[in-house]
Amino acid sequence: MPALASVFQRDSAAYRRRGETRAFIRRALRGYEQKRDENKARFQDWQAARDAAAAIKHEAIEHLDRCLPEFIEKIEARGVKVFVAANGVRAKDYIIGVIRRHGAKSIVKSKSMTGEEIHLAQALEGEGFEVVESDLGEFIVQLRHEAPFHIVFPAMHLKRDEISRLFEEKLGSAPTDSPEELTMIARRAIRQKYCEADIGISGVNFAVAETGAIAMCTNEGNGRLTTSLPRVHIALMGIEKLVPRMDDLALLLPMLATAGSGQHLTCYNTILSGPRQPGEPDGPEEFHLVIMDNARTTLLADAQQRDALQCIRCGACLNVCPVYKNVGGHAYGTTYPGPIGSVITPHLRGLQSWKHLSGASSLCGACTDACPVKIDLHHHLLHNRRNAVRQHKTWWELLLFQGFGWVAADARRFALAGWIGRLAQPLHALVAGTPLDPLKPWTRFRALPEPPPYAFRDWWKERRGAEGGAHD
Amino acid sequence: MAFCPQEDGNSPCARTWRTDSVSTVRVSLFIPCFVDQYFPQAGIGMVRVLERLGHRVEYPEAQTCCGQPAFNSGYWDEARGTAERMLDVFRDAEAVVSASGSCGAMLKVFNPELFAEHPRAEEARALAAKVWEFSDFLVSKLGVEDVGARYEGRATFHDGCHGLRELRIKDQPRRLLAHVRGLELVEMGEAETCCGFGGTFAVKFPHVSEAMGEVKCQSITETGADLLISNDSSCLMHLQGIFRHQGRPLRALHLAEVLAQT
Amino acid sequence: MTDDRALVFARIREALQTPRPLHGHYDGLPGPAPAENGKGYAAWLPRVEDTPSGRLLAFRERSELLKTELVVATRAGLAGTVQALQQRHGWKSAAWHRTRLTETAAGAAGLPLLSTDQAYETAALERVDASFTGCDALVAQTGSVLLTTRSAGGRALSILPPHHVVFAEASQLIADLPAAMRLLRERYGNDLPSMICLETGPSRTGDIERILVLGAHGPKKLTVVLVE
């Protein structure tokens, strides 16, 4: 088994034993489901809204060759310095260049999954800059030197006592079991940083082609502070963040909030169209926007799975995925966990190395139902599996399926094989639990079904014979 | 042989099992490979119910497997070879009624994609159009909810994922069970959550599969039910396997087995 | 540093040579095309009765859920309202920018004031207890305050102090998000303020055990004074 797949198996096996954490996360997600359903019910027609949202993003992606240049032209006209980066290295080099040019030392950052993808914070720290993650969840996992557990709620896996101990150790704060007090501790720690930071780095939720503006959704207000106080603002986005019109935000903003966090609307939906303008009392003097490909065009080229680029990073698919709930965000071993991660990671990072994520699913389809932009998520997992096999077939699977195919090609052969299997099953008891047990993956956790005395086809044949062929 | 058309969706022909039916349907049974070999009672139950309702049931014995295991593993060429057989077996069928939501979905939803660029694409689509999952066939096609069943007990129903999300089976089994005399149906909190079987997933990712099953078993236990019912025998096999491994066996029956009891 | 746009545009063009039609997955239904000017979206978003009383009712309901303090005042009674608020919240200082309404408020509050209409020190703004701003509109459907750098005195005024007080005319209460987008287009055209924000309640986080806590980084309190 390839290395990454073994790591996944090991990590998911370990997580399975953390029954308490899994139960805790299930409870949190049940609360989310309730609020989400309340807000979905407020929509006059949630399914029509999904259709429209899918159509909006489809339009942007399908016409990205037009939308993206249009967006860049418009936003550059507003004084934003745009840098299009082919990959993460180019994006980081540019950002580091900007920071160096300004002689900056301290950087405050609001949430960016695209930034996580290219390990931006680590790269900047490596260059000797101080980087403060202002989003509370990101702040917490940064202190723990850990990757985010969930794309919207990075510290979802931690209980308050763990967070308190973390703050006691790293910030010297007093122990507390109140989420409110813990939030205040973080607020105080970060507040000074906003006022002192030279550079603010933010993510982007939507990039509006019509006007040349970016939209950013946060609940905490850290996105606002990051982009208001420091004198230089750098925003990072993937090429797929485009939406055609401002009007489209009227639909996408509430859908993002409802699907992602069960809110009707995120607290601060901020639309930024440029640096500080003449006549404005404050705001960054320079606004840089880095627009990154980093293998998104590979996914774009796969017409069947192109809709995966419609993703608005709401996290709804993670929230409903039973696999995600039972392996945890870290086991995926990559920036984007959950169903969307399992679909896109093979495209972004290599099919053969990452196909196991597409395999680690029962294809229940809860993700596809939950997706506000109607990405055909669980079917794409099948597509990835097919594509991986087209490139490379394992000898034993080929043997297995060709063998099974041969048996199934003849009804009597099939019936005979089944009869032998049922007959031989009691023999399994001899090897059960030992290294020789061929059914170990099953029998480790589950009893085998009792073999019935006859197959359906036997019963049917006998009955037909008894009734003289009346039911043919 | 005429059958009650379903075009006007809102008014299915309502018949109870007591009236003599004027029109009957020629039902071709699709008994998936593992149901045939390991859970024949599910198929037997289907036969009993359909015949009780006055329909002619046939079982094309040439059927073996729909090809889903190979298909789900990405071996589509190999799957096609097996799946093609079904196109032959059910070519002349009027209505193909499946004992399983997942295999029903294979014929109804996935075959058209599997055969998309294939010379037999049209046949795959034609077959898909006449495939029904068992409970959906009874309720949506025949317009029947009371099949005259009796079963004493407290039960909970597990929605098999393929049936639920690929075939939109949710109400149908519940409406049928509501008419089973003596049966108390309680909903579990995680009714729509995947049980964790997922075909080859169960053995390729056993830890995840079991963890998912464990969550489901807990939810079932919380209902206090002494019977687990589902429209998918593979889910039952997986959940019952976990219960027995934990030393607390739970009675599990396919929906058709319950409906067959009088 | 020249960027990679030529390369990335070329990759995009090549990738899009195979079209992907819009279609639903298993239902096979095509989605509706996005409506022009956003009017169509209102049909699917939560319903708001688009009358003055309907909008006020919706905004009041949302404000309660969001923990926004909504105060309805008369023009004549505005000064008194502000003084009552000052007593309730115990502000010792405030920051503001000049609008017709905030001028009255600033006068009535009797507090040391920092104005962002001229250059100001961030450190000074950080120390005040409250900010008084105007807004572009109030959105009934979501309970949001629509503000921009031009209507709310810049970027920092409405987000840095711990209590944000918005002064709005009743006529500024509009129905829904599509109406908000139309308003922006009609008011600003292509001359957009550099920051626009839909502020929806006091700042909050759910990052700890997904439990809601108010006052994460932005204001812990939001008060909307609606002047009839």
Full pLDDT tens readout for chain A, 472 residues: 778 999 999 999 999 889 899 998 999 999 999 999 999 999 999 998 998 999 999 999 999 999 999 999 999 999 999 999 999 999 999 999 999 999 998 999 999 999 999 999 999 999 999 999 999 999 999 999 999 999 889 999 999 999 999 999 999 999 999 999 999 999 999 998 888 999 999 999 999 999 999 999 999 999 999 999 999 999 999 999 999 999 999 999 999 999 999 999 999 999 999 999 999 999 999 999 999 999 999 999 999 999 999 999 999 999 999 999 999 999 999 999 999 999 999 999 999 999 999 999 999 999 999 999 999 999 999 999 999 999 999 999 999 999 999 999 999 999 999 999 988 888 888 888 788 888 888 998 999 999 999 999 999 999 988 765 544 4
SS3 A469: coil
Beta bridge partners of C133: C166
Q: Does A330 contact chain B (CB < 8 Å)?
A: no
Give the model's pLDDT for residue A436: 81
How do strand C137-139 and strand C221-227 relate by DSSP bridges? unpaired
Q: How much is the ipTM here?
A: 0.95
pLDDT surpasses 60 at B187: yes
Higher pLDDT among residues B14 and B97, named by residue: B97
Q: If you average pLDDT over residues C144-162, what whole number do you get?
A: 97
Q: Is the distance from CB of B237 to CB of B106 less than 8 angstroms? A: no
Distance between CA atoms of residues C152 and C164, nearest Å: 11
Position C26 scores a pLDDT of 39
Q: How far apart are CA A257 and CA A272, in angstroms?
A: 19
Residue B1 has pLDDT above 60, yes or no: no
CATH domain A47-294 topology: Rossmann fold (3.40.50)
pLDDT number for residue C23 = 66
* Beta pairing class for A268-272 and C69-73: unpaired
pLDDT at residue number B9: 33
The 10s digit of each residue's pLDDT in B191-213 is 999 999 999 999 999 999 999 99
Q: Say whether pTM exceeds 0.90.
A: yes
Distance CA A61, CA A320 (A): 26
* Domains of chain C and CATH, by start: 49-227 (3.40.50.10420)
The mean pLDDT of C190-219, rounded to a whole number, is 94
d(CA A197, CA A106): 5
Bridge-based pairing state of the strands B181-185 and B227-230: unpaired
Phi then psi dihedrals of residue A25, to 5 deg: -70, -35
Q: Is B166 on the interface with C (CB under 8 A)?
A: yes
Residue A109's DSSP bridge partners are A133, A201
What residue type is C122 in one-letter code? T
Chains contacting C (3 or more CB pairs within 8 Å): A, B
Of A58, A97, A267, the CB nearest to C1: A97
Shortest CB distance from A455 goes to which of B36, B63, B85? Answer: B36
Q: How far apart are CA B167 and CA B158, in angstroms?
A: 15
Enter the tokens of residue A229: 């106080």
Q: What is the DSSP pairing of strand A242-243 with strand B95-98? A: unpaired
Contact B31 A362 (CB under 8 A): no
In chain B, which residues have their Cβ closer than 8 Å to the Cβ of A449? Answer: 38-39, 237, 240-241
pLDDT at C39: 58
> Which of A24, A358, A363 is the mutation pick for testing B, counting most B CBs within 10 A?
A363
Query: Across the B/C interface, how many CB contacts are shorter than 8 Å?
Result: 3
Instruction: Note the pLDDT of residue A438.
Output: 82
Residue A90 identity: R
Residue A461 contacts B where some CB pair is shorter than 8 Å: yes
Q: Which chains touch A (3 or more CB pairs under 8 A)?
A: B, C
Residues of A in contact with B253 (CB under 8 A): none
Note the pLDDT of residue C24.
Answer: 52
Decide if A346 contacts A321 (C-beta within 8 A): no
Burial of B2 by CB count in 10 Å (0-12 exposed, 13-18 middle, 19+ buried)? exposed
DSSP alpha helices (H): ranges in A103-248? 113-117, 120-126, 136-143, 160-171, 179-196, 222-226
Both tokens of B32, joined, read: 């998936």
Give the nearest chain C residue to A149 (CA atoms). C207
Tokens found for residue A62: 């399908």
Query: Contact A180/C213, CB-based, under 8 Å?
Result: yes
Alpha helices in chain B, H assignment, sequence order:
33-38, 40-52, 68-72, 76-89, 101-105, 111-114, 121-129, 134-136, 161, 171-178, 201-204, 206-223, 233-245, 255-260
Strands A268-272 and C195-199: antiparallel
How far apart CA C226 and CA C228 sit, in angstroms, is: 6
Query: Is the model's pLDDT at C166 over the cut of 70?
Result: yes
The long-range contacts involving A375-380, CB below 8 angstroms and separated by at least 24 positions, are A375/A54, A375/A307, A375/A308, A375/A310, A375/A311, A375/A340, A375/A343, A376/A307, A376/C25, A377/A308, A377/A317, A377/A339, A377/A340, A377/A343, A378/A339, A379/C25, A380/A304, A380/A305, A380/A308, A380/A343
Q: Give the nearest partner residue to A265 out of C122, C142, C150, using CB atoms.
A: C142
Sequence-distant (≥ 6) Cβ neighbours of residue B234 within 8 angstroms: B34, B100, B102, B160, B197, B199
Percentage of the residues of chain C whose pLDDT score is greater than 70: 93
Domain residue spans of chain A: 1-41, 47-294, 305-391, 410-471
Beta-carbon neighbour count of residue B53 at 10 Å? 21
With tokens 């694409």, the residue in question is: B121
What is the rounded CA–CA span in Å between residue A89 and residue B28? 60
- pLDDT above 70 for C27: no
Q: Is B101 left (phi over 0), alpha (psi -120 to 50) or beta?
A: alpha
**Chain A 408-437, CB below 8 Å of chain B: which residues?**
408-411, 414, 418, 421-422
Mean pLDDT, chain B, as a whole number? 90
Q: For residues C71, C76, C78 and C81, what is the CA-based torsion angle, rounded to 10 degrees?
A: -70
| Contact map slice: A 334-363 vs B, CB within 8 A | 359-363
**pLDDT tier at B151 (50, 70, 90 boundaries)?**
very high
Q: Is B112 on the interface with C (CB under 8 A)?
A: no
Residues C147 and C91: beta-carbon distance below 8 Å: no
Tokens of A470: 């009346």
**Spatial contact of C146 and A307, defined as CB atoms under 8 Å apart:** no
**What is the average per-residue pLDDT within C96-118?**
94
Residues A383 and A299: their CA atoms lie apart, in Å, by 13
Instruction: Report the side by side order of strands in the sheet with B251-254.
Output: B181-185, B150-158, B227-230, B251-254
Q: Which chains are within 8 Å of B by 3+ CB pairs?
A: A, C
SS3 content of chain C, % helix, strand, coil (to 5): 35, 20, 45
**Helix or strand or coil: residue A329?**
helix
Within a 10 A sphere around the Cβ of B150, how many other Cβ atoms?
Answer: 11
pLDDT at residue C22, rounded to an integer:
78
Our CA-based measurement puts residue A128 at a distance from the nearest CA of chain B, in whole angstroms, of 41
Reading the block at residue A374, the tokens are: 């109607």
